A = this chain, B = another copy of it.
Amino acid sequence: MPQPAAQTQPHPLNSVEIAANADYSPRTLLPLELVMRHIILAFIILSSALASTVVPATPRNVILIIGDGFDDQHVTMGRNYLSGMSGQLGLDTLAFRASVQIETVSDEGQPLYVADSANTATSLATGRMTNIGRIATDIADNDLPSIAERAIEAGWRVGLVTTSSLTDATPASFLAHVSSRSCEGPKEVLGSTYYGIPQPACLSDARDNGGPGSIVEQLVGSGAHVLLGGGDKFMKQQTVDGITVSQLAVNQGFRVISRDTAFDSLAAPQRLLGAFDEETLEVQWQGTDARIGEPVERSWLSHISKYFGSVTEPSPMSCEPNPAYRNTPRLAAMTDLALTHLATDNEQGFFLMIESASIDKQSHKRNPCGSIGEIAQLEESLALARSFASNHPETAIIVTADHAQAAQILPEPTLYANYPIAIYSPGLTARVRTPEGGMMRINYATNNGFSEEHTGANVPLFANDVAAQWLSAFMRQRDVHDAMERFLFRPENH
């Protein structure tokens, strides 16, 4: 395991954890796999050596905000509700905007046109393309080093903040390497089910088999400085050492906090780990009476032919507080906590990934108010990040999405309202009253199952001035990774 070179600024907290990074610890390897591992290890040592030559005069920070599924339909849905048809979101006032190309391949390496959050987060985290479901591993299951790992090795602090489980695909890809996103805990790494469907195991990754462990075990062993989100059910699991993951985290030097912790009372800086819900954090808003997208009600004549009868549209809904949200920590509160503990007494800087996960998760569930409330949370976190950047000049802020999602804004009423038959969506519709007095119709019609599909459009990227200098108008997702690395690890006088 590479040590930071001598000229690297000493970092009080991560030198031990770096040594404890278990990603490349020995296990039973096939000969080819062994060769590949050594090549990758050599690459890491080289890049680490290059990176560690940099000790910036001013702390250098990256804040990467990922809106999961936050494509232009969802951005516009959020804007219409939160700021009005002619209004602007906070992110609309960022100086720079670009489009990001999403890439993924099938297990056979053929191009695919729709991705998932695992392979896209892998691209953002490692600069490499991979197939669906993988966490920072390539199509041949080689581990791909991430920008977060390189940052830790070179003396930067690293934080992951998310409204999903910390073990979910997006945060996982920054600090873990497994063959499948389903391998979240010590149990799941050996196999699990989801809605009754068997999910892939990651047997060679299991610590039972001498591997680096499940996602949660790799996270707590990664040398990260701050890990805040959901996923407490994985923290409670037993490891092969006979202790819980949570205890393992304490042994690794983390202060484990809960939603009862007074965030302001924590002396900074500390290494913090908070898993504030069993899995995904509750969202702040829901539709009236917890309603989501619904089908039209067709009269009996309409069932005989679409040229007969009538349909009744779902009645309008408003967005209102979700009773289950209660004292769930806000994304902004977690962001604030992370910024405090990452930046205090830190002369080198940090890499912070903030995920607003439930834009996507609520779109899967056809719950527009859930998505919109989550976009409001992203906006609050962005405002904090910008406030921080205004006092810390070398702070690059990038907001982007990992992939496009199902929801579409449709005309209310239909463009064909004068047509003499009932025109309606074959999918599920939510008609959301907006604060400015409009009616926003959201359509979910990608499949007939229990959960909507991702879609395949390129996604937006928003950045502040500091980040914009390293970006271009059109980039592949892996180019965004490369730009962040160039910003963070560049020689001092560049």
Contacts and interface: CB of A to CB of B under 8 A. Distances in A.
A196 B80 CA distance: 35
Given A421-B449, A426-B426, A85 B72 contact: no
Given A113-B440, A426-B447, A411 B103 contact: no
Nearest to A426: B426
Contact of A453 (B76, B116, B415, B446): B415
A60 interface: no
A99 B84 contact: no
A393 interface: no
B88 A111 contact: no
Given A423-B449, A448-B423, A449-B421, A455 B84 contact: no
Nearest to A423: B449
A111 B85 contact: yes
A310 interface: no
A388 interface: no
A124 to B, nearest CB: 16
A111 B97 contact: no
A456 B439 CA distance: 12
A416 B423 CA distance: 29
B101 A86 contact: yes
A446 B92 CA distance: 27
- When all copies of this chain in the complex are counted, the total is 2
A411 B112 contact: yes
A427 to B, nearest CB: 5
A370 to B, nearest CB: 19
A455 B73 CA distance: 8
A425 interface: yes
Contact of A474 (B97, B198, B447): B97
A58 interface: no
A306 interface: yes
Contacts of A412: 112-114
Interface of A: 71-73, 75-77, 79-80, 84-86, 88, 92-99, 101, 103, 110-114, 116, 129, 195-198, 306, 404, 406, 408-412, 414-416, 418-421, 423-427, 434, 436-438, 440-441, 443, 445-449, 451, 453-460, 462, 473-474, 476
Given A410-B453, A423-B448, 17 more contacts: A71-B72, A72-B404, A72-B457, A73-B457, A75-B457, A92-B99, A97-B99, A111-B434, A113-B441, A114-B441, A197-B420, A408-B455, A408-B457, A409-B455, A410-B456, A415-B451, A426-B426
